[in-house]
Structure 1
Amino acid sequence: MYERILVPTDGSETAEAAVDHALELAERYDAVVHTLYVVDTDSMSLTLGAEQLDRIEQGKFGEMDEVRERAERATDYVADRARERGLEVVEHVSAGKPHSLIAEYVEDNDIDLVVMGSHGRSGIRRTLLGSVTERTLRSTRAPVLVVDTDRE
C-alpha cells in the first residue's frame, strides 16, 4: 500500500510528534522513509538580501551555519529513529515555500503518503498565522495524515 512515506519536518515538537506515526506505518508496509526540511525563504526575506536568498534556494548556505545546522538536526532526528527501526531513509533539505516544495517532492519522488504534525488551530488564529499543513493538504496529490499534537 505504502512504499514511500514523506515526513516533512521543521524540527519542532509538532513535527516530531508525527514521526512515530510515520515510522509505525513504514514498518508495517516495509516502506522507505523520506524526510524533508524546507528552509522557508518567505519568512527569511525580511532579514536577508536577494543574493543570500538565491544562494539558500540553491542549497548553498555559505555563512548561514545556523540554518544548515537546524535543517540537519531536524532531518537527522527522523533519520536516526528510522534507522533504529531498521528502516531505509532518505534525507533532503530544500529552500523556498514549504507547501510548494513538499508537493513538488511528493511528485518528484512518487511519495505514497505524507505524515505531518499540526496544532489543530482553527478560525481566525489559523487564518492569521497560516498553516503549512493546511496548504500541503490543498496542494499535494498524495494522501496526507495529519497528527494533531493538541490531542496527543
Structure 2
Amino acid sequence: MTKNILVPVDGSPLSRAALRHACKEFPNASITVLHVVDLFEPGYGVYSDFETSYEPLAGSEEWYERAEAASEQLLEEARELAADHDRTVSTTSEIGDPKRIIVEYADEEDIDHIVLGAHGRREDRPVFGSVAEIVARRARVPLTLVR
C-alpha cells in the first residue's frame, strides 16, 4: 500500500501534471511536494527571469533570498493545485542538484513512490529528461513518469 508520495516540482506544466496525477491516482496517500533550486540552473521551469550569471558559485545573500521567494511562490501554487483536487500537501524546498536531492529525500523520508514530470529537454534524450533518467535509475521506490 502506497502511503507517502513525493512529487518534485519545478513550475513547468509537466510538474503540475505530475501533481494532478498524484492527487487523482493516490487518494489515500500523503503527498509531499519538493522543489529543488538547482545551483547551476535555478531559473529553469517557470522562473526563467532568475538571473544568476553574475553571482558567485555559492550565491550571495540576495541570491538565496530570491531563490527562497521563487520557491515559496512555486510551492504555494502547488498547494493551490492540490486544493483544487480537495487535497492538502506538505511542501519543502532544498538547494542543490535535483537528481541527487530527489533520490536522497525519498530514501531519508520514507517515501513509497515518486511521481515526476519527464521533460526531455535535451535532444539526445527524447524520451525523458536527465533528472528523470537519473532518478529512475537510482530511486529505490517505484517511480511514475508523467509526460
**Which category of TM-score, normalised to the shorter sequence, fits these structures?**
0.7 to 0.9
The answer as to 2:133 corresponding to 1:134 is: yes
Please say if residues 11 and 71 of structure 1, whose CA atoms lie closer than 8 Å, have aligned partners that are also in contact: no
Once the two structures are aligned, what percentage of the paired residues are identical? 32
Number of the residue aligned with 1:94: 94
* 2:55 partner SS: coil
TM-score computed with the length of structure 2 as normaliser? 0.79
Number of the residue aligned with 1:143: 142
CA RMSD of aligned residues (A): 2.5
Per-residue CA deviation, residues 95-116 of structure 1 (Å, 9 max, x unaligned), is 1110110011101111111101
Within 5 Å, which residues of 2 pair with 1:96-115? Answer: 96-115=96-115
More displaced, 82-91 or 105-114? 82-91
**Cα distance in 2, alignment partners of residues 5 and 142 from structure 1:** 10
* 2:137 partner SS: helix
**Cα distance in 2, alignment partners of residues 85 and 101 from structure 1:** 27
Number of the residue aligned with 1:40: 38
Per-residue CA deviation, residues 45-77 of structure 1 (Å, 9 max, x unaligned), is 86431442xx7xxxxxx3134322221122222
Q: 2:56 aligns with which of 22, 30, 49?
A: 49
Unpaired stretches in structure 2, ≥5 consecutive residues? 43-51
**Cα distance in 1, alignment partners of residues 57 and 66 from structure 2:** 19
Within 5 Å, which residues of 2 pair with 1:114-129? Answer: 114-120=114-120, 124-126=123-125
Number of the residue aligned with 2:3: 3
Aligned length: 136
Amino acid at match of 2:10: D
Number of the residue aligned with 1:59: none
* 1:75 partner SS: helix
More displaced, 134-143 or 68-77? 68-77
Amino acid at match of 1:115: V
Number of the residue aligned with 2:19: 19
* 2:62 partner SS: coil
**Cα distance in 2, alignment partners of residues 130 and 146 from structure 1:** 10
Quick one: structure 1 residues 46 and 114, their matched pair in 2 at CA, closer, same or farther if it must change by over 3 Å? Answer: same
